[in-house]
Chain A
């Protein structure tokens, strides 16, 4: 561990600017290739942070380290005051508090939408079936898909599948939600419904970290945009600053290209 930051004291912090997710000196190598070269990032309660950057810049890897789907090589990650990398930490219990949404939805194809949403509620949260179903239906209702509770993923559009995937993560009532390019696999006309659900979640006060190329949405909805390049954070700030007037040449050309394309 290179980080010298002291363990956060859960009791003394004010809730107003409490960091739900703290990343310190995070490094990740795949073999010889170092993908993350020392990342420091704080995400505060109710904040929506966008991670942007060229492909290969390490955005997705950073996100996947935050629930240890990737094992960091070095550094520290704290979620809701708990050291995520400590061997004493119950990782499966922590993962319930860290929702994740994937580019390719990853719904379980052999289960109905409701069963997708309730599986972890029953197996991990150990809720009885009736209660799990109740919470599952409520989660599906929030993403506007209660009517599709008994449909299998194959019967749903991409946008609907992604909303079910969001409901699956939300049903566990996480402290923070990680979105890994949630709209990149969607047809353009289906993107809006997913972004709308994310907007709704933001209004409900969910803390969110989003890897996405939807810069127009970022401009409208994000509290902060973090620009990654070659495994480092090169810019961080409010969207109108980072997206409208980037200070580094790298960020400027990236943003210009993307806004032009969209």
Chain B
């Protein structure tokens, strides 16, 4: 096979598409659910850690910094393998799905905590002064005055980081999570065709291009004249 016909036959083989599209679709659903879970728990945990760090208890602060640095330094795949093969030996068997959810949530939390913290510290000290001088408590000043401004600043870096980490759901294929890439490689092995991998790539685009566009929209939506 040569040229254009060869390209189409390799990546867009109609029979293979018909056979394996349902399998990829199943993977698409798993990836969607997994990504959504990671985003929700990861960002929520990251925000909680940043707020906890904001209380100013030194020991807690150190622990959070250590957690964030450790998880940002380790490759997620190493963590996934470590948890998946390590925890059962400790008597805590986790499914492959739960392992990826847990690890990627922790990694996203580590990055999100640093991003939220940077945002909180970037808010001018005068905002704290104004809030405290009118009688707001520390938590009120943080949640009503400082955090809304910090979150606006964190939207662009947080969106980028969230997309980068949710794409790592593909690492689940290594431990047999039935997500897009796993289904695609399985189908590729059965069919001997690269078409399922192209289907997988298209599935990722369908999932993440709207997320990228949504990120852009949030950025402009949350911008305000300082």
Contacts and interface: CB of A to CB of B under 8 A. Distances in A.
Interface centre among B132, B134, B145, B152 (most CB of A within 10 A): B134
B40 interface: no
B130 interface: yes
Contacts of A104: 124, 126
Given A96-B135, A123-B140, A123-B144, A154 B224 contact: yes
Contacts of B26: none
B168 interface: no
A181 to B, nearest CB: 12
A139 to B, nearest CB: 12
A168 interface: yes
Interface in A85-120: 92-96, 98-100, 102, 104, 106-110, 119-120
A168 B134 CA distance: 8
B149 interface: yes
A165 B129 CA distance: 12
A106 B126 contact: yes
A67 interface: yes
A102 B78 CA distance: 52
B135 A93 contact: yes
Given A110-B149, A154-B225, A124 B130 contact: no
B226 interface: yes
B127 interface: yes
Contacts of A69: 129, 132-133
A102 B226 CA distance: 17
Interface string B117-160: 00000001011011111111100100011001100100000000
A30 to B, nearest CB: 15
Chain B at the A interface: mostly helix, strand, loop or mixed? helix
Contacts of A98: 133
Contacts of A172: 134-135
Interface string A218-251: 0000000000000000000000000000000000
A243 B132 CA distance: 34
B148 A110 contact: yes
A120 B135 contact: yes
B134 A102 contact: no
Contacts of B149: 108-110
Interface residues of B, number: 21
Contacts of A94: 135
A73 interface: no
A95 B133 contact: yes
Contacts of A29: none
B127 A120 contact: no
B129 A110 contact: no
B80 to A, nearest CB: 39
A110 B143 CA distance: 13
Contacts of A154: 224-226
Interface string B98-129: 00000000000000000000000000101101
Nearest to A69: B129
B144 A119 contact: yes
B124 to A, nearest CB: 7
A95 B134 contact: yes
Contacts of A67: 133
A177 to B, nearest CB: 11
Given A108-B127, A110-B148, A119 B136 contact: yes
A41 to B, nearest CB: 19
A108 B225 contact: no
B124 A106 contact: yes
Contacts of A110: 148-149, 152, 224
Interface of B: 124, 126-127, 129-137, 140, 144-145, 148-149, 152, 224-226
26 contacts: A67-B133, A69-B133, A95-B133, A95-B135, A96-B135, A99-B134, A100-B129, A102-B129, A104-B124, A104-B126, A106-B129, A109-B224, A109-B225, A110-B148, A110-B224, A119-B131, A119-B144, A119-B145, A120-B135, A124-B134, A124-B140, A152-B225, A154-B224, A154-B226, A168-B134, A169-B133
Interface of A: 67, 69, 92-96, 98-100, 102, 104, 106-110, 119-120, 123-124, 152, 154-155, 165, 168-169, 172
Given A119-B134, A154-B224, A172-B135, 6 more contacts: A96-B135, A106-B129, A108-B149, A119-B131, A120-B134, A120-B135
